[in-house]
Structure 1
Amino acid sequence: MATIAAAKKEKSVMDISKPANFAINVFFWIYTAICIIPLILVLVVSFTDEKTVLLNGYSLFPSKLSLSAYDFLLNDWLNVVRSYGISILVTVVGTIVSLTVMALFAYPISRRDFKHRGLFSFIMVFTILYNAGLVPFYMMYTQYLHLQNSILALMIPYIVQAFFVLVMRTFFSNSIPTELIESAKIDGAGEWRIFAQIVLPLSLPVLASVGLLCTLNYWNDWWLSMLFINDNIHINIQYRMYKALQDLQFLSSNSTAYAAILAQNPNFQLPSETVRMAMAVVGIGPIVFAYPFFQRYFIQGLTVGAVKG
């Protein structure tokens, strides 16, 4: 009888939860559409004819398509490809080096038996609250480190980020059992072996979470290229798109330059709205494929510290 009653109770709970599950699914489908439709709109408008956009506005179903925006952006396609290569190189190498250095910094200050953990934690917090300003920052990298016009100038400033170090320190402190480390020491393992074979494999959620954020920081950065790169060789794709936007604004405001282009090519039409959308598409690039590789561990990292029932 008790089994039958429990089964009936479970069935009634499932019956009650079906409408709730349906409502939740509908809500998230709508929310997902709200997030995805603007991205689709950006992609569609980038392939839309400029006159069509000016006459009819943005539309998911344009009456006329055109590649004029991409022709404008990819006119110097060799430099675009080179900038893509620099962005990919800086993002991949920078993320790997950044994760390595920050993990090596965060792990010691997470250990209660480390004598100077308070001092090094204070240094990290201090750099979050205070900074020297732009001029000393620029002088350090150009006059002392001599990194101007080099790829290292696009990597080194983001290698250690204090907030991420503190996040990793908290994870190491709360999720790596002290007993596990002590037992490894008893078995004869050294600190490097404990860190490489025990701590890092158990820390994949926080490594993936921080790694994804580092990847986005490196890929979306254009400021370091503007600050440290003066040539046309070492700039990344984001700053090249920024320069393309500046060229577009110059042509739009300078009638003499625009007239000179029309004299050479009477059929030329300066894209304005569509080229901005094309810049967004080109700028996103392969970074949209990065999240699926981090998704599994990224979700685990978000739920670290949740209360277990």
Structure 2
Amino acid sequence: MKNSFENKAIDTFSYLFMAIFSVFCILPFILILSSSISDEKSVQLTGFALFPKQFSLLAYEVIFQDNTIFNAYKTTIIFTVAGTILCLIITSAMAYAISVKTFTHRNKIAFFVYFTMLFSGGLIPSYLLISKYLGLSDNILVYILPALVNPFNMFLLRNFFKQIPDSLAESAKIDGANDIYILFKIILPLAKPALATIGLFYGLGFWNEWFTATLYINDKDLYSLQYLIMKVLREVDFMYEMDYMQGVIPNYVAPSNTVRMATAVVTVGPIIFVYPFLQKYFIKGLVVGAVKG
């Protein structure tokens, strides 16, 4: 009876603690959303609040003032999805190659990839290679091709592949399977947690990409979402600073703070909806029972 009471007390305390912790995690998102639909003047006078004191959609009107934002969304979604898939394929193939003990050149390939983590050619050689020799300026592939393999992700996936029993691949080879079949039919299905984690890393990296557009993109239809948002913020800040320097009192206050909050809502929203679908793969123990004892 005592143990039962103690277990219930611990469960109650745990649920209560997690509920309070969840509220504190949700409050910043509510604050951002509320501030994004508030009037700029009220935000400057009273600060940010959980509920808008004066409702205004001016910040979203500034962001969605033309079709450029929709083109940026389309472009970003395309290279994020395509880039994540290609990166997972290339990274998985290289990780599997250097995880196979019978592959002669696996250490040389691993060193070649590891070398790029320590040394880089720099910005200018990279710019010349991508823009002049590869001709990827104003091309959506410029977002994808230079980022096909991340060394850290490859070694992370390699270490996960090493945990999969060798007897699985050996049994498949006895039955006549080649390495491509083993990778896609045996190894990758067992590596779903690792693939989901690395895929999330790649996806977030592509979704937050803005520096590439700064260097190589002049076509407005190929702007990434993050670059366009940064461009809008700069324009709003410039407008605010010009009015301040000239001593001009405009009819409305430039929505500097509220636009920042609105951009956070616009850019983070899709990731919040995608994450729950990937969360179920963040589990362990998929290899348990795969090999008969």
TM superposition score normalised by structure 2:
0.92
Q: Is the CA contact (8 Å cut-off) linking 2:31 and 2:51 kept in structure 1?
A: no
- Pick aligned residue for 2:281 from 297, 301, 305: 297
1:31-54 Cα shifts (integer Å, max 9, x gaps): 222221101110110001112111
Structure 1: tracts of 5 or more residues without a match: 1-10
Residue of structure 1 equivalent to 2:261: 277
- Residue 107 and residue 209 in structure 1: after superposition, are their counterparts in 2 closer, same or farther (change >3 A)? same
User: Are 1:135 and 2:129 counterparts?
Assistant: no
**Alpha-carbon distance in 2 for matches of 1:75, 1:131:** 40
Give the partner amino acid of 1:191. D
- Residue 223 and residue 258 in structure 1: after superposition, are their counterparts in 2 closer, same or farther (change >3 A)? farther
TM-aligned CA deviation for residue 63 of structure 1: 2.2
Residue of structure 1 equivalent to 2:153: 164
- Residue 225 and residue 169 in structure 1: after superposition, are their counterparts in 2 closer, same or farther (change >3 A)? same
- Pick aligned residue for 1:79 from 68, 72, 89: 68
Residue of structure 2 equivalent to 1:6: none
Give the partner amino acid of 2:110. S
Select between 197-206 and 26-35 the one with higher mean Cα deviation. Answer: 26-35
TM-aligned CA deviation for residue 20 of structure 1: 2.2
RMSD: 2.3
Q: Is the CA contact (8 Å cut-off) linking 1:251 and 1:257 kept in structure 2?
A: no
TM-aligned CA deviation for residue 261 of structure 1: 11
Residue of structure 1 equivalent to 2:188: 200
1:206-247 Cα shifts (integer Å, max 9, x gaps): 111111111111101111111211222211111000000110
Q: Is the CA contact (8 Å cut-off) linking 2:190 and 2:287 kept in structure 1?
A: no
Structure 2: tracts of 5 or more residues without a match: 289-293
**Alpha-carbon distance in 2 for matches of 1:261, 1:193:** 69
**Alpha-carbon distance in 1 for matches of 2:271, 2:9:** 37
- Residue 231 and residue 259 in structure 1: after superposition, are their counterparts in 2 closer, same or farther (change >3 A)? farther
**Alpha-carbon distance in 1 for matches of 2:7, 2:110:** 47
- Pick aligned residue for 2:240 from 243, 249, 252: 252
Give the partner amino acid of 2:52. P
- Pick aligned residue for 1:177 from 139, 147, 165: 165
TM superposition score normalised by structure 1:
0.87
1:22-37 mapped onto 2 (5 Å cutoff): 22-37=12-27
Give the partner amino acid of 1:296. K
TM-aligned CA deviation for residue 187 of structure 1: 1.0
**Alpha-carbon distance in 1 for matches of 2:16, 2:283:** 22
Residue of structure 2 equivalent to 1:66: 56
TM-aligned CA deviation for residue 88 of structure 1: 0.4
Instruction: Tell me the matched-pair count.
Output: 288
Q: Is the CA contact (8 Å cut-off) linking 1:86 and 1:234 kept in structure 2?
A: yes
TM-aligned CA deviation for residue 259 of structure 1: 9.2
